[in-house]
Chain A
């Protein structure tokens, strides 16, 4: 038998294998997209019914069980404030933790320990974060239910996500850039602040937005920490607040059609808020990227 050299056409067997693999890949993609499209479709179709000015500007105060109307203004305010406060707590801590792990830890014992606990925190069920704040902040320290208590619980959930994504991004920054900066006689902390973080900026923003999107939809920890209200409470530090996930949860549990409709619209509003935040983040990172000036 001679070994055939030279350029040959693609064999029939490989064509078939290629075709089968291609079909499988497309199929997997379709299967993955089905739930996403169906959820979006359902929420948009059912949510548009009540998506009006009244819904966005009114609370549920003095709305009877069977009354139509009412809105989620109190819940929107609550969600925005709680997520903002949670971000204010979790993003700086998460960012600095990641900087420590990548730039200062050097794989030492402390950094391995931190990594380990961040991994554990990633796996903490959200209700446990809520229980922790309830037990520590409200029962032991005697604070009231408040938006801030909710923000504390959310920040516990946000932190590991911020740490992990920032860590990944910082590790992607080439070492040559750090060395270039050191060789100019720039101290390490300024190198991190002026060279490393700006280079990783776009990726960090994306990671933070993922974390925000994750906690914006959390219901369980809020249930235990911000409690529940039908009225507008603009002060996140005092008294029960509302949140959109809680609003959807509450309204969908009621038997009336008008309440169910409000729940759908609440869900649609939540999706829109998260999308809007994502858009803003994209804009910020586009505006900061050097390609724009190129």
Chain B
């Protein structure tokens, strides 16, 4: 299931503005990789280049290479739709489809992509909701609207929806920033479970969270406002937090800036 991602010399632009520059890294399979860094340093932009969501924004483009095992995601014949099917994404704000029930939300990715029998769907929906630790809370009201759940439940619903299509990589863009500590804990536990099966990349502003859930951490920074963001260093999470090689990383994680 899980695959390795290799990025080499990647630049991303919004129109003529260069948002990130010269990023190269390897993301290991079956592990959690955390991206940390100040706001505006391009963490989310970089995350979105990994499943070709960046180019959805008008005027946005990417230069460089992203390889999933031996496949170039930005190759000439690659269908971005199939890339996104392989590399799922969870967003900062929970965004269940408002017109669909809980069941339909989880089944959405499958239904919109192909034909499945009712019993197949039932099985996958239950498995995905269990995988997102939501099954026990919603099993009696699967046909109620997904928008009626609490924020934390909605976010787990979105995770269930993302894992229902069986991606190989799961990208999470600050998945807990809109949630209370209890829901955050539930999602962090879930991340630790999901890494058995998926390659997980998580963007977070919460350094304790990065320290808690991730195996490897990448620190991004930008020289000044308006300059492109860059990867400063990437290492085992324990090393980044105890013994970083760069001064900027140490300043950031200890709360000293500039």
Interface residues of A (CB under 8 A from B): 106-107, 174, 176-187, 190-191, 194-195, 198-199, 201, 290-291, 293-294
Contact = CB atoms under 8 A, between A and B. Distances in A.
Interface in B86-141: 86, 88-89, 91, 93, 95-101, 108-109, 111-113
Contact of A201 (B84, B89, B99): B99
Contacts of A293: 101, 143-145
A101 to B, nearest CB: 14
User: 4 smallest A-B Cβ distances: which pairs?
Assistant: A185-B85, A184-B109, A183-B89, A290-B145
B112 A183 contact: no
Contact of B91 (A176, A198, A291): A176
Contact of B86 (A106, A178, A185): A185
Contacts of B95: 174, 176-177, 179-180
B216 interface: no
A74 B53 CA distance: 57
Nearest to A191: B112
B218 interface: no
Contacts of A201: 99
Chain B, interface residues (CB within 8 Å), range: 35 or more
B174 to A, nearest CB: 13
B75 to A, nearest CB: 17
B164 to A, nearest CB: 8
Given A176-B91, A293-B144, A184 B85 contact: yes
A179 B143 contact: no
A181 B99 CA distance: 13
Contacts of A186: 81, 108-109, 112-113
Contacts of B148: 294
Contacts of B91: 176, 179-180, 183
B248 to A, nearest CB: 31
Contact of B97 (A107, A199, A294): A199
A228 B100 CA distance: 49
A182 B145 contact: no
A191 to B, nearest CB: 8
A191 B108 CA distance: 10
A183 B86 CA distance: 9
